[in-house]
Amino acid sequence: MRSDWDGRAIEDAYYYVAFGRKNQAEDEFFATGADTVRALEAELKRLDAAVAPERRRALEIGCGPGRLMRPLARNFGEIHGIDVSEEMVRMAAGKLERVPNAQVQVNSGADLSAFSADSFDFVYSYAVFQHIPSRDVVLQYLTEARRVLKNGGVLRCQFNGLPASDRECTTWDGVRMSAQELSQFARAHDFQLLALEGVGTQYMWTTMRKQPEGWRKRLQSPGLVARIRGMANSQTGEPVVPASGRFAGCTIWLEALPADCDLNHLAITFEAAPGMPSYLGPPVWDGVCQLDVVLPEGTRTGMVRVDVAWLGKPLAPPAWLRVIPPGPLAPWVGSVEDGVSMLAGRRVESGTVKMVLEDLAATDGYEVSVDGQVIPEIQWVPRSAFARSYELNFRLPEGMAAGSHRILLRNGARTLPPVEIEVA
């Protein structure tokens, strides 16, 4: 891993870290981390509010050149980064030269032995575990993260959650982790599981809070202490939820939710059929918590009873959700970009094209042509089974002239609207 990532850092560190474009300018590279930084900062609301930011310590696993550390440093008294690549750490030290509370160091690529137990409030990692070829190493990192976190500290990590395949794992295309594996890990290590988002996608996120050893065994249900204040569509906020499809997610607003609740012990049923909880938010100003749940397959339409239980016992009186029929699938092109330089947009510089298609029932039968010339080989990659989203990759025909060209997708009698690209 060290050799491979040192080589990538020397060749083009910014590209291999952010996949934006080759030879990015520094300002553009750091700007690509803005959305991830905002999402990580949102998780800081879970930390003890009584501890001032200047007394908090954070650790990034796989810090690269410091793209996330530099802006996140404003939230902590100390922020540390580790990376297996000596070249990446050398670059990060230079980029963080004017950030006095940031420190970086090379690690073994498998542990956090440089840090003492119970020393961090926040540990995070992004676009790192998906490149590690060993499942044991990923699980070792999670175990080590628990060791270095303080009780009440928060772990926020991203994994490749695509379905398992028989492909060979490399230091680029690493292991895939399932939501079930992460849920079981949390159960076994006294982690309070608070989020499992993007299940079944390449960018699956989890949030866990460290609890004292034996915490799970001491949990007891308090009975009917909570109340469902309201329910709505998780994506639109409307008071109706489709029975299936990309919008079949429900947000439940709960009052008086016990602080020890987590996704492993909460059970949300829709007329006795279990939904899949994905996110449990921190209490907002009036103490209400957000709980996001994916509706179970086969949910009927109409007024559907919703029950919330914890530790096998009812936690709140039932409520009723209005479920409507899903709309018909209407495939559409979500995005088109150069297959290598994502920031190039529809200007194709590498000769490869990456398209994201939404609302596909299946990928069978699709034909792709450019200016009427059929592309003989196309590659489909599932992005989200829940949202029926797929990535389509292909190479342009050899010798294609620079300028404007038209991509057309057909499936039997259905033809999607043409897409214009600019070939460099």
Average pLDDT over residues 125-130: 97
Q: Which of 326, 321, 324, 325 is nearest to 232 (CA)?
A: 321
User: pLDDT tens for residues 266-315?
Assistant: 999 999 999 999 999 999 989 999 999 999 999 999 999 999 999 999 99
Q: What is the pLDDT of residue 50?
A: 95
Judge whether 54 and 47 are in contact, CB under 8 Å: no
Q: Strand 78-83 vs strand 57-61: parallel, antiparallel, or unpaired?
A: parallel
Tell me the Cα Rg of the chain.
23
User: pLDDT tens for residues 217-230?
Assistant: 999 999 999 999 99
pLDDT at residue 345 above 90?
no
Average pLDDT over residues 69-95: 98
Chain centroid offset of residue 314 CA: 30
What is the DSSP-derived secondary structure letter of residue 6? H
Judge whether 9 and 2 are in contact, CB under 8 Å: no
Judge whether 311 and 302 are in contact, CB under 8 Å: no
Judge whether 103 and 76 are in contact, CB under 8 Å: no
* Predicted TM-score of the model (pTM): 0.94
Calculate helix-pair angle for 86-95, 2-18, nearest 10 degrees: 40
d(C-alpha 316, C-alpha 67), whole Å: 43
Domains (ranges, CATH) in the chain? 2-218 (3.40.50.150), 227-324 (2.60.40.10), 332-423 (2.60.40)
Q: What is the pLDDT of residue 285?
A: 86
Which conformational region is residue 365 in: left (phi greater than 0), alpha (psi within -120 to 50 degrees), or beta?
A: left
Average pLDDT over residues 123-130: 97
Q: Which of 145, 124, 147, 149 is nearest to 72 (CA)?
A: 124
HSE-up of residue 167 (Cα within 13 Å, Cβ side): 13
d(C-alpha 203, C-alpha 182), whole Å: 14
